[in-house]
Amino acid sequence: MNWGNNNNLYTISDHYFFNLLFFVINGVYIPKFETEYIIYLFQKEINNENILNVVDVCGGTGCIAITIKKLFPLKEVWILEKNILAIQNILININYHNVQINLIKEDVFKIKTINSENTLIICNPPYIKTKDVEKITNKNNLLHNLDGGYDGLKYVKYILKHFKDKYFIFELGYNTQVKYIYKKYQEEFYIISHKPIDNMDVFFVFLIRKSKYLHYLPLNDN
């Protein structure tokens, strides 16, 4: 399928995420089936919390945020994305699914805080270590978008430092990254990690910021 005007024509394919149809512009990452676990995690661990808002950082096609918006009774859902092509892709999918989502067209590293009450930050970031990126073959020339810094945690570290929210979910690709998060952040957060697929190096980490580190909302740790 082609989409756009004569000056800006995209090739689009369709893919399913959590049994919902999403369009993917050539050059934007195709939603991965393992990432669907974020939706299960939301349903299992987080839907019991007092979550009113979700921010999907590095939104890609918008599949995570749109799926959550369609399935759960939330007050607000935002997508944070800087890539122009991905932004166009998100708008196509928002329009197709007819959902109300706030799109923030900004680089995550230019945002100092979100700090919104009862908000969950979800991020499936570039998590490949810089030294490993060059080993990967990518026919769509998207390798630069895979680079998560020397340890693959560039996005995670920035978000946990600058976003003062209570709840976070990250998708990661190395067991060493999960171990680092436990070691570095266990004083400030309650941390739960999941490895849903035994033969695949994909990890999901759910963090809840402890009440003494929350400056905008008194919470009960019991």
Predicted confidence band of residue 149 (pLDDT cuts 50, 70, 90): low
In a domain, 216, yes or no: no
**139 vs 65, higher pLDDT:** 65
Helices (H), 28-141: 37-41, 63-71, 84-97, 130-133
Predicted confidence at residue 66, as pLDDT, reads 98
Which CATH number belongs to the domain containing residue 107 in this structure?
A: 3.40.50.150
pLDDT over 70, % of the chain: 79
The model carries a pTM of 0.86
Quote the CA–CA distance of 109 and 202 in Å, as a whole number: 24
**135: β partners:** none
In a domain, 218, yes or no: no
**Residue type at 32 in one-letter notation:** K
In a domain, 85, yes or no: yes
Predicted confidence at residue 197, as pLDDT, reads 86
In a domain, 220, yes or no: no
In a domain, 7, yes or no: no
Does residue 10 have a pLDDT over 70? no
List the 76-81 sheet strands across, edge first.
102-105, 76-81, 53-57, 119-123, 167-172, 203-209, 189-194
Least confident of 45-49, 97-101, 124-128, 150-154: 45-49
Predicted confidence band of residue 220 (pLDDT cuts 50, 70, 90): very low
Are 172 and 205 spatial neighbours (Cβ–Cβ below 8 Å)?
Answer: yes
Predicted confidence at residue 1, as pLDDT, reads 55
In a domain, 219, yes or no: no
Residue 172 sits in which domain range?
A: 14-211
In a domain, 217, yes or no: no
- List the structure tokens of 199: 């033969």
Q: What are phi and psi of 27, to 5 degrees?
A: 115, -10
